[in-house]
Amino acid sequence: MDTEHSTLRVLMFPWLAHGHISPYLTVAKKLACRGFYVYLCSTPVNLNFIKKKIPQKYSISIQLVEFHLPDLPELPLSYHTTNGIPPHLVSTLKKAVKMSKPNFYKIIENLKPNMLIYDILQPWAKEVANSYNIPAVMLLTFCAAMLSYRLHPVKKPGTEFPFPALYLRKIERQQREEMLEKAAKEKDPDDKDPFAEEETMNKIILMSTSRATEAKYIDYFTELIQWKIIPVGPPVQETTNEYDGDVDDLIDWLGNKYENSTVFVSFGSQYFLSKEDLEEIALGLELSNVNFIWVVRFPKGEEVRVEEALPEGFLERIGDRGRVVDGWAPQLRILSHPSTGGFVSHCGWNSVMESIDFRVPIIALPMHLDQPINARLIVELGVAVEIVRDDEGKVHRGEVAEIVKSIICEKTGENLRNKVREISENLKKEREEEMDAAIGELVQLCKTSKSNNMML
């Protein structure tokens, strides 16, 4: 281990979502391997989950720090995470996090880290750190294509977005406008623009992405924002045995299938399918005749039995061809398995990067947020085919079946597999170099912080 940085201590504070925690944990491990001492801060319910993803070798270099939220009757402890929280409570969760700012002051005061790495959804954390002369760097968990799309109209109003491949369909534009309106209404007037120009702040952004997947978008985002953008590579963990339940049984079942014969179907940790989408996807998988593992999930507190939510007789008709998993599956173990030949995904950024890293072509079925842009990006890259919804946003079983079949049984799948293999190789080549560049910047910042702290 490189001991040069062994006295540098970094506090990491991701938003309370698995899609955000996962890339923070990846970076935490990379920092720990290079001699940093890392504190990873989240709520107890998230930490219980994170614990299982940290192998023994990091037991000293990565310390977990509890962040407590206020005791609100509508937000029991198990809801102190976005995983499985009923969608109407997400804004309450955001408020609860904000109310806990005094707890974050105490954490910073106790730990006195050399640097904070914070999330765009908690921009106030930077102010807390800066108030102790501690530098703060944002780690973004979205892709540069998405951020370019978002910032272009602000920075270059009245001009056309120069990447037509990243268009949004009419229904997606409507959904996006509704989402932005809702966000504007809920916005706390104290919250500053996370990309605002400030003299006190270093203009460095770490991004959970790679030049291997989106070099031109990283360059364009840099041009728009005029900050230094440092990609830190794909957010991929080691495949640990962190899951309870019948995981071995599931992996044994997968082991009995032919190479590239099975699709994995999963829509991340924050989204729940509508009844109609659930039915069309089930019947599409049935029609495709392809093997599958499908993670079906419902919000916490809704006592839904998976078998009852699926179309009548579905499980009997599928028999041993498919497995339906309730709630959560070991995604990385499944994606890294040779029998997995495709991933029907909502295109959360982590799922996209994980799939590319493990050389699995993607069948894109974006739901909301950044996902439509992510889907267009990977189609442009040549590693995905998209299941296109109709003008009302509905998914159709016939299209699901056709595309799944084409990826597993036809030439289309082979072409995508060749392309994803090539990009995965490039990702691996870039990974270390990108992280080394990031470490160089972080060390500089930490050193500044050390001299600042000595002056206190």
Ligand X SMILES: O=c1ccn([C@@H]2O[C@H](COP(=O)(O)OP(=O)(O)O[C@H]3O[C@H](CO)[C@@H](O)[C@H](O)[C@H]3O)[C@@H](O)[C@H]2O)c(=O)[nH]1
Question: What residues are labeled active site?
Answer: 20, 119
- One of 81, 209, 340, 351 touching ligand X (CB under 6 A): 351
Residue 429: CB minimum distance to ligand X, A:
22
Beta strands (DSSP E) in 145-212 are 204-207
User: Which listed range, 55-63, 96-104, 106-114, 348-356, lies at the site for ligand X (CB under 6 A)?
Assistant: 348-356
297-331 b/e (C-beta count within 10 Å ≥ 16 → b): bbeeeeeeebeebbeeebeeebeeebbbbeebbbb
Residue 15: CB minimum distance to ligand X, A:
8
Q: Of 180, 192, 378, 400, give the one whose Cα is nearest residue 280.
A: 400
Q: Does 19 bind ligand X (CB under 6 A)?
A: yes
Residues 163-222 that bind ligand X (CB under 6 A): none
Residue with tokens 């989106």: 214
User: Which listed range, 13-21, 156-164, 171-179, 418-426, lies at the site for ligand X (CB under 6 A)?
Assistant: 13-21
Residues in Cβ contact with 252 at an 8 Å cutoff, skipping those fewer than 6 apart: none
- Residue 371's alpha-carbon distances to 264, 271, 275, 327, 378, in angstroms, are 18, 11, 20, 20, 11
Q: Does 331 bind ligand X (CB under 6 A)?
A: yes
- Residue 436's alpha-carbon distances to 95, 211, 213, 271, 343, in angstroms, are 36, 14, 18, 34, 31
Residue with tokens 């029907």: 344
C-beta closer to ligand X: residue 4 or 246: 246
- Single-letter amino acid, residue 1: M
End-to-end Cα distance, the chain? 31
Residue 220, CA atoms < 13 Å, CB-side half-sphere: 19
Residues 288-307 that bind ligand X (CB under 6 A): 295
Residue 277, CA atoms < 13 Å, CB-side half-sphere: 20
- One of 9, 18, 34, 126 touching ligand X (CB under 6 A): 18
Q: Does 148 bind ligand X (CB under 6 A)?
A: no
- One of 67, 118, 142, 343 touching ligand X (CB under 6 A): 142
Residue 33: CB minimum distance to ligand X, A:
20
User: Which listed range, 211-219, 266-274, 304-312, 435-443, lies at the site for ligand X (CB under 6 A)?
Assistant: 266-274
User: Which listed range, 66-74, 127-135, 285-293, 366-374, lies at the site for ligand X (CB under 6 A)?
Assistant: 366-374
C-beta closer to ligand X: residue 347 or 446: 347
Residue with tokens 């889907």: 375
C-beta closer to ligand X: residue 46 or 351: 351
Q: Provide the token pair at 420.
A: 């994803």
Q: Does 22 bind ligand X (CB under 6 A)?
A: yes
Q: Does 269 bind ligand X (CB under 6 A)?
A: yes
C-beta closer to ligand X: residue 370 or 434: 370
Residue 334: CB minimum distance to ligand X, A:
9
Pairing of strands 136-140, 37-42: unpaired
User: Which listed range, 172-180, 222-230, 246-254, 349-357, lies at the site for ligand X (CB under 6 A)?
Assistant: 349-357
Q: Does 329 bind ligand X (CB under 6 A)?
A: yes
Q: How many residues bind ligand X (CB under 6 A)?
A: 25
Q: Provide the token pair at 431.
A: 């990974």
Residue 329: CB minimum distance to ligand X, A:
4
State the burial class of residue 110 (Cβ atoms within 10 Å of its Cβ: 0-12, 13-18, 19+): exposed
Q: Which residues contact ligand X by CB under 6 A?
A: 17-20, 22, 141-142, 266, 268-271, 295, 328-329, 331-332, 348-351, 354, 369-371
